[in-house]
């Protein structure tokens, strides 16, 4: 029996998801647990596994589309099974409400073909391929002449499309003879079956629709297939489904008519933005849009202040070198981030208000230490990557080994798009270790509704004055030492924390790192 594929539980905070990439195609065999597609949410990118073994009978959403959480995104079953029609499919709606792809809607023959009622209101029986072609060309299965109640096949649908094209050609031929129109003025019959948005995309990037169709009716073209053709055969690797929504409304194209000019024309995008020649408009990814929205919201919500403290990491690096092999024997990769997370917990214990949330009624102080850990994702061709913040829940209840295990696990799964919605929920404080990319200092933006975020820079050896006497008086006993130093940058919400309380937090983190106990 065919099984409908729905989205997994994404948590209460998620309202919809974006289809990032399909990993399978219709007709492909899959096993239970195989990844079917990648989806993006406001919190995380992840894969959706197959709930059962079988054949992918139907894919109901294209890449780049936003779908609700209760949507049926695909159907899996036996190869010989008919695909269950979606509740809002063409087969469940009266044919008079459907769009019939014809060049001339007033043509008697085409009108006759497109107005056949569904037999006694019953669901039309059809093979999965027939249903897919009908859906892609925008026609209702109920208007296709049946064969005495037998199941409609691919051939029935294609024969119906051919009859419609012939009828349209006759109308176009009559108008050319009577109106004196030239061949160049008569629109291609096939191209009339292609949605306007796809024709615009093809015109902008000089894509041959017939080649993209690969011998099939042009009406069978979809956004995904057109983009795949452009990527694989024309080198347009930057294209994705989101491009459709920002295709220039007017492209610079020669008309071939008398007096036409080859002078480049400035294109205008669908949003009205003028784009000069020599520029490439790269649509924002779903993740980039979410990051932009959250960062702007935070900047306008919380008055940001940043305080900076330098930390001598000599004790921590010594402990790390002495114990990393021991941790590896237990299957855990020890990193310096684990030490910083542990120190952050001590800082939050010293200043509970830093582990809180501002509300107009009062300050919600959190009792659990759930430390978010910013993880950078690989960059695309433009050099722009993504950012995701998995959460180490109840970090205050863990020792260094437990924290290190969580840090390694979350970082790996974040980069492999295997985080779940639960992995990114409930953070009370965030750590961003930009030092891993060589940066010494940044001013991080608070992740709302949290109160603060701690940034840690790269560790580098610096000359430090070591004094055995009073630190502010000259002494012959003072000397220079080259120590591994790291800068802490705490950005905090000035509605909640003041300079003194923020510095108290940083001092506690600094004290924990510089005096790391050997026994832990």
Output the CA torsion sign for 457, 463, 469, 475.
negative
Shared-domain flag, residues 57 and 41: yes
User: Does residue 257 form part of some domain?
Assistant: no
Shared-domain flag, residues 368 and 434: yes
Name residue, tokens 């990527």: 231
Decide which of 22, 52, 81 is a domain's last residue.
Answer: 81
Q: What share of the chain is helix, strand, coil (3-state, %, to 5)?
A: 35, 20, 45
DSSP 294-360: HHHHHHHHS-EEEEEEEEE-HHHHHHHHHHHHHHHHTT----HHHHHHHHHHHHHHH-GGGSEEE-S
Task: Give how many domains the chain has, as a whole number.
Answer: 4
Decide which of 50, 81, 112 is a domain's last residue.
Answer: 81
Shared-domain flag, residues 374 and 504: yes
Residue 47 corresponds to which tokens in the numbers above?
């894969």
- Rounded (5°) CA angle 330-335-339: 105
Shared-domain flag, residues 237 and 295: no
- Averaged pLDDT, groups of 10, the chain, 520 residues long: 81 73 89 86 77 89 82 86 57 37 37 38 62 67 65 74 67 50 40 62 73 76 79 70 46 42 48 65 82 89 96 95 93 94 97 95 95 90 88 95 95 86 91 93 94 96 86 82 96 96 97 82
Shared-domain flag, residues 103 and 73: no
Shared-domain flag, residues 159 and 290: no
372 has which bridge partners?
391, 430
Residue 449 near residue 461 (C-beta atoms within 8 A) = no
Residue 472 near residue 451 (C-beta atoms within 8 A) = no
317 CB burial (10 A radius; 0-12, 13-18, 19+): middle
Shared-domain flag, residues 435 and 446: yes
What is the enclosing helix (H) or strand (E) of 157? Answer: helix 154-179
For the chain, give the longest Cα–Cα distance. 108
User: Does residue 50 form part of some domain?
Assistant: yes
Shared-domain flag, residues 422 and 493: yes
Active site residues: 494, 498
CATH number for the domain spanning 330: value is 3.30.559.10
CATH number for the domain spanning 33: value is 2.40.50.100
Shared-domain flag, residues 73 and 99: no
pLDDT at 352: 97
For 266, list phi and psi in degrees, rounded to 5.
Answer: -70, 125
DSSP, collapsed to helix, strand or coil, labels residue 519 as coil
User: Does residue 430 form part of some domain?
Assistant: yes
Residue 75 near residue 88 (C-beta atoms within 8 A) = no
User: Does residue 259 form part of some domain?
Assistant: no
pLDDT at 222: 79
What is the enclosing helix (H) or strand (E) of 479? Answer: strand 479-493
Shared-domain flag, residues 413 and 505: yes
What is the extent of the structural domain holding 364? 286-514
Shared-domain flag, residues 473 and 329: yes
Name residue, tokens 């021991």: 326
Neighbours of 334 (CB within 10 A): 24
375 has which bridge partners?
388
- 39-43 LR contacts (CB < 8 Å, sep 24+): 39/7, 40/285, 40/286, 40/287, 41/10, 41/14, 41/16, 41/17, 41/421, 42/13, 42/14, 42/290, 43/11, 43/13, 43/14, 43/388, 43/421, 43/424, 43/425
User: Does residue 261 form part of some domain?
Assistant: no
Distance between CA atoms of 222 and 26, rounded to whole angstroms? 13
- 313-316 LR contacts (CB < 8 Å, sep 24+): 313/459, 313/484, 313/485, 313/486, 313/513, 313/514, 314/483, 314/484, 314/514, 315/513, 315/514, 315/515, 315/516, 316/513, 316/516
Shared-domain flag, residues 179 and 56: no
Distance between CA atoms of 222 and 225, rounded to whole angstroms? 5
Distance between CA atoms of 219 and 92, rounded to whole angstroms? 21
Distance between CA atoms of 425 and 43, rounded to whole angstroms? 8
Distance between CA atoms of 170 and 372, rounded to whole angstroms? 66
DSSP 395-463: GGG--HHHHHHHHHHHHHHHHTTB--GGGGS--SEEEE-GGGGT-----PPP-TT-SEEEEE---EEEE
Residue 354 corresponds to which tokens in the numbers above?
């830093």
Q: In what order do the strands lie in the sheet with 35-40?
A: 45-49, 35-40, 16-22, 66-68
Decide which of 155, 172, 192 is a domain's last residue.
Answer: 192
């Amino acid at each position: 029996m065919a099984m409908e594929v729905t989205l997994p539980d994404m948590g209460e905070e998620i309202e919809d998801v974006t289809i990032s990439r399909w990993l399978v195609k219709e007709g492909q065999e899959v096993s239970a647990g195989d990844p079917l597609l990648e989806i993006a949410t406001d919190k995380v990118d992840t894969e959706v596994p197959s709930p059962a073994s079988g054949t992918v009978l139907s894919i109901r959403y294209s890449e780049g589309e936003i779908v609700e959480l209760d949507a049926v995104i695909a159907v899996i079953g036996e190869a010989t099974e008919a695909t269950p029609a979606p509740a809002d499919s063409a087969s469940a709606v009266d044919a008079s409400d459907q769009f019939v792809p014809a060049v001339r809607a007033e043509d008697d023959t085409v009108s006759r073909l497109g107005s056949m009622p569904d037999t006694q209101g019953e669901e039309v029986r059809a093979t999965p391929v027939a249903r897919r072609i009908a859906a892609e060309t925008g026609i209702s299965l109920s208007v296709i002449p049946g064969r005495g109640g037998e199941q409609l096949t691919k051939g029935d649908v294609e024969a119906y499309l051919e009859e419609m094209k012939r009828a349209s050609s006759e109308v176009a031929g009559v108008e050319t003879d009577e109106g004196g129109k030239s061949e160049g003025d008569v629109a291609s019959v096939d191209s009339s079956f292609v949605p306007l948005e796809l024709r615009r995309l093809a015109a902008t990037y000089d894509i041959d629709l017939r080649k993209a169709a690969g011998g099939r009716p042009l009406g069978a073209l979809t956004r995904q297939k057109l983009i795949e053709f452009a990527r694989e055969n024309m080198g347009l690797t930057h294209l994705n489904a989101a491009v459709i929504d920002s295709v220039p409304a007017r492209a610079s194209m020669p008309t071939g008519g008398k007096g036409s000019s080859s002078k480049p024309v400035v294109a205008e995008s669908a949003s009205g933005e003028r784009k000069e020649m020599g520029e490439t408009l790269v649509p924002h990814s779903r993740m980039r849009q979410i990051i932009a929205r959250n960062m702007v919201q935070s900047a306008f919500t919380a008055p940001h202040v940043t305080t900076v403290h330098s930390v001598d990491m000599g004790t921590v690096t010594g402990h790390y070198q002495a114990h990393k092999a021991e941790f590896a024997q237990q299957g855990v990769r020890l990193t310096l981030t684990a030490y910083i997370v542990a120190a952050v917990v001590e800082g939050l214990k010293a200043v509970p208000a830093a582990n809180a949330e501002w509300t107009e009624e009062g300050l919600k102080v959190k009792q659990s230490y759930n430390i978010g850990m910013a993880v950078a994702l690989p960059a695309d061709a433009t050099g722009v990557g993504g950012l995701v913040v998995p959460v180490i829940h109840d970090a205050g209840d863990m020792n260094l080994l437990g924290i290190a295990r969580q840090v390694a696990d979350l970082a790996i799964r974040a980069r492999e798009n295997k985080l779940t919605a639960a992995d990114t929920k409930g953070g009370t404080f965030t750590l961003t270790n930009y030092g891993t990319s060589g940066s010494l200092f940044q001013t991080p933006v608070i992740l709302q509704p949290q109160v603060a975020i701690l940034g840690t820079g790269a560790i580098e050896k610096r000359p430090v004055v070591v004094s055995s006497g009073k630190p502010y008086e000259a002494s012959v006993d003072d000397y220079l030492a080259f120590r591994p130093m790291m800068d802490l940058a705490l950005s905090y919400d000035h509605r909640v924390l003041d300079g003194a309380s923020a510095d108290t937090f940083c001092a506690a983190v600094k004290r924990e790192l510089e005096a790391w106990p050997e026994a832990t």
